[in-house]
Amino acid sequence: MNNKMVIIIGAGPAGLTAAYELLKNNKSMNVEIYEETNVIGGISQTVNNNGNRMDIGGHRFFSKSDKVMNFWINIMPEESSSISPENTDRVMLIRNRLSRIFFLKKLFNYPVTLSKDLIFNLGFLRCAKIGFSYIKSSIFPYKDVDSLEKFYVNRFGRELYNLFFRDYTEKVWGVKPSELSPDWGAQRVKGLSVWKTIINALKPKNKTDDIKQKEVETSLIEKFLYPKYGPGQLWETVAKEIENMGGKIYFNKKIEKIKIENNKVISITAQDNETINNIDHLISTMPVKDLIHSISLMSSIPEDIAITASKLQYRDFITVGLLLKDIALHNKDGIVKDNWIYIQEPYVKVARLQLFNNWSPYMVSDKKLHYVGMEYMCFENDELWSMSDDEFIKFAIGEMKSLKLIKDEDIVSSNIVKIKKAYPSYTGVYNEFYKIKEYTEKIDNLFLIGRNGMHRYNNMDHSMLSAMEAANCIINNNVDKSSIWNINTEEEYHEIKTRPDQTRPDQTRPDQTRPDQTRPDQTRPDQN
């Protein structure tokens, strides 16, 4: 095993974790990472704009997996009485979480909680409708849960769904929830429900300083870790550790061709025509659509696999950064505390605001200013994506003003970042994805990991766990990849426990899945 060559495509969290785990267990192994861009971290990068740092999407460093938590803290220890961010840069801050929903030009807690503020903001009549609608859905639920809309209605009632979930979901995915497969939520399950939200609101707050919060549903956690200078800082540190252990990272190396013979990868070719032979194992985090195309250029593959892969859909991501003197989100004490805010208003296209200085005060060069990220989901080459940078920034500022959150005189500077294929979509031909999975599993030395690598909307910790499992398979010469695909289908991530006779969603074809097997209750793209 000492001389084995392992090639990893992609220097995001999954690819870097796989390299780190392989080298940690065998430093004499040859591990090389080929990254298409010149940036470490993938969507978990941190963009530095004149000392103001942008986190693409917002990444909470929190997991119920001890392996993942220990990985992070081993790279960057959490702050303590002896480790202060004032004295060291390599440190994880312990942050309090506050996320809210902006709707009807008012702010609601997220997750939505039954409170005086909710009744005051919505009005008694609307709250009564929500209650009766929820009772109706509890008594007469949809039996055939074949869409995300039906799941939400079963879980929250029609009235609450119409108010808080329908329009936002369409902003994110570009299709109505009635057209979106419920399977996507099974990758983002956080145990959120009306009853659990009520119970969480009523029970005494846990005063423990334990950042793991093992007994808290993931959607309801109140603390998380965060690198002093954003997620990119951690992954750049991991990259340095990989190189210190003998691994190599090549930038601006897009892999365009992959040759398969006798169910094994034997070579890959980069965009500059450099070919790497004698590959023992290939770990891929590249979008599945691109992976299958790369294989088809060098190898004969089934026509239905090529067609299905070519039609896989993705949502692309645009963030406009605004450095501001002020923003109209103050609490009663005149302080802006939100980490992120979901924009529910249907008359604007912005889906979410990130307040980077509230993730870490070190993300902003001037602590008197607010650095806000306006997030947009779109399709590559659609109207939003096709705007020039200047046009888009002007458009985004106009939306902030229409929300009455800023004035022209508040703006200090602005920037924009575009990310392709940020979210693998559960629309279109997704129900045929199992064919691609079955095809790639037959290629003995090919391992698919991470969000795009598995076409699965994973959190960062799930992507890392898939990488750890792939590393274990390689170290133990195991060609059974089921442990990788079982990540994020384990019971601790499900609010409804799997019965002994149930098969996990990712182990079944669409026509084999019973209505109670798909359990999407994560209402919004989360923060990692």
Q: Provide the residue count of the chain.
A: 528
Confidence of residue 127 (pLDDT cuts 50, 70, 90): confident
Higher-pLDDT residue of 3, 238: 238
Structure tokens given for 159? 């009235």
Confidence of residue 240 (pLDDT cuts 50, 70, 90): very high
Interatomic CA distance for residues 468 and 160, integer angstroms: 39
- Which residue among 372, 406, 424 closes a domain? 424
Are 433 and 298 members of one domain?
A: yes
**What pTM, to 2 d.p., does this model score?**
0.87
pLDDT digits (tens, 9 = 90+) for 357-391: 999 999 999 999 999 999 999 999 899 999 999 99
Are 308 and 321 members of one domain?
A: no
Query: Has residue 210 been placed in a domain?
Result: no
User: Is residue 499 scored above 60 in pLDDT?
Assistant: no
Cα distances from 492 to residues 61, 65, 191, 449, 524, in angstroms, run 17, 9, 9, 20, 19
- Which residue among 183, 202, 221 closes a domain? 202
Interatomic CA distance for residues 217 and 190, integer angstroms: 6
Query: What is the structure's pLDDT at 427?
Result: 84
Are 345 and 198 members of one domain?
A: no
pLDDT digits (tens, 9 = 90+) for 172-210: 888 888 888 776 544 443 455 555 555 455 455 555 556
Give percent of the chain above pLDDT 90. Answer: 64
Are 20 and 168 members of one domain?
A: no
Query: Has residue 51 been placed in a domain?
Result: no
| One-letter amino acid of 434 | Y
Interatomic CA distance for residues 482 and 503, integer angstroms: 13
Query: What is the structure's pLDDT at 181?
Result: 74
Whether omega before 111 lies within 30 degrees of 0, making that bond cis, reads: yes
Q: Which of 161-170, 332-341, 431-440, 492-501 is least confident? A: 492-501
Higher-pLDDT residue of 20, 214: 20
Are 155 and 291 members of one domain?
A: no
DSSP assignment of 88-151: -SS-EEEEE--EEEEETTEEEESS---SHHHHHHH-HHHHHHHHHHHHHHHHS--SS--SHHHH
Query: What is the structure's pLDDT at 163?
Result: 86
Cα distances from 401 to residues 57, 237, 242, 468, in angstroms, run 22, 39, 45, 45
Q: Residue 221: CB partners within 8 Å, gap ≥ 6? A: 60, 62, 97, 213
Query: What is the structure's pLDDT at 200?
Result: 52
Query: What is the structure's pLDDT at 496?
Result: 32
CB 516 within 8 A of CB 210: no
What is the rounded average pLDDT of the residues 54-78? 95
What is the rounded average pLDDT of the residues 344-354? 95
Q: What angle do CA 18, 521, 503 make, to 5 degrees?
A: 65
Are 416 and 321 members of one domain?
A: yes
Are 287 and 308 members of one domain?
A: yes
Are 272 and 330 members of one domain?
A: no
Q: Which of 210-219, 391-400, 475-484 is least confident? A: 210-219
Query: Has residue 242 been placed in a domain?
Result: yes
- Which residue among 371, 390, 424 closes a domain? 424
Q: For the purposes of burial, counting CB atoms within 10 Å of the CB of 28, is it exposed (0-12), middle (13-18) or buried (19 or more)?
A: exposed
Query: Has residue 511 been placed in a domain?
Result: no
Confidence of residue 53 (pLDDT cuts 50, 70, 90): very high
Query: What is the structure's pLDDT at 161?
Result: 87
Number of domains making up the chain: 3
Query: What is the structure's pLDDT at 516?
Result: 32
Region label for 450, one of left (φ > 0), alpha (ψ between -120 and 50) or beta (otherwise)? left
Interatomic CA distance for residues 287 and 157, integer angstroms: 36
Query: What is the structure's pLDDT at 124?
Result: 84
Are 307 and 436 members of one domain?
A: yes
Are 175 and 307 members of one domain?
A: no
CB 98 within 8 A of CB 220: no
Q: Give the domain range for residue 352.
A: 315-424
Query: What is the structure's pLDDT at 494?
Result: 36
Average pLDDT, the chain: 86
Query: Has residue 92 been placed in a domain?
Result: no
**C-beta pairs of 66-75 under 8 Å, 24+ apart in sequence:** 66/212, 67/465, 67/468, 68/461, 68/464, 68/465, 69/211, 69/212, 71/17, 71/20, 71/464, 72/225, 72/234, 73/225, 75/234, 75/237, 75/238, 75/241
Three-state helix/strand/coil letters over 207-267: CCCCCCCCCCCHHHCCEEEEECCCHHHHHHHHHHHHHHCCCEEECCCCEEEEEEECCEEEE
| One-letter amino acid of 85 | P
pLDDT digits (tens, 9 = 90+) for 266-304: 999 999 999 999 999 999 999 999 999 999 999 999 999
What is the rounded average pLDDT of the residues 233-241? 98
Interatomic CA distance for residues 322 and 232, integer angstroms: 20
Check which CATH number belongs to the domain holding 285 and give it.
Answer: 3.50.50.60
What is the rounded average pLDDT of the residues 232-248? 97
pLDDT digits (tens, 9 = 90+) for 416-460: 999 999 999 888 898 899 999 999 999 999 999 999 999 998 889
For tokens 């659609």, what's the residue?
382
Q: What angle do CA 41, 44, 48 make, to 5 degrees?
A: 85
Query: What is the structure's pLDDT at 118?
Result: 76
Query: Has residue 519 been placed in a domain?
Result: no
Are 306 and 447 members of one domain?
A: yes
Interatomic CA distance for residues 322 and 89, integer angstroms: 25
User: Is residue 239 scored above 70 in pLDDT?
Assistant: yes
Are 349 and 269 members of one domain?
A: no
Query: Has residue 78 been placed in a domain?
Result: no
Check which CATH number belongs to the domain holding 169 and give it.
Answer: 1.10.3110
Query: Has residue 185 been placed in a domain?
Result: yes
Check which CATH number belongs to the domain holding 400 and give it.
Answer: 3.90.660.10
What is the rounded average pLDDT of the residues 346-366? 96
Cα distances from 473 to residues 416, 438, 446, in angstroms, run 40, 17, 11
CB atoms within 10 A of CB 361: 12
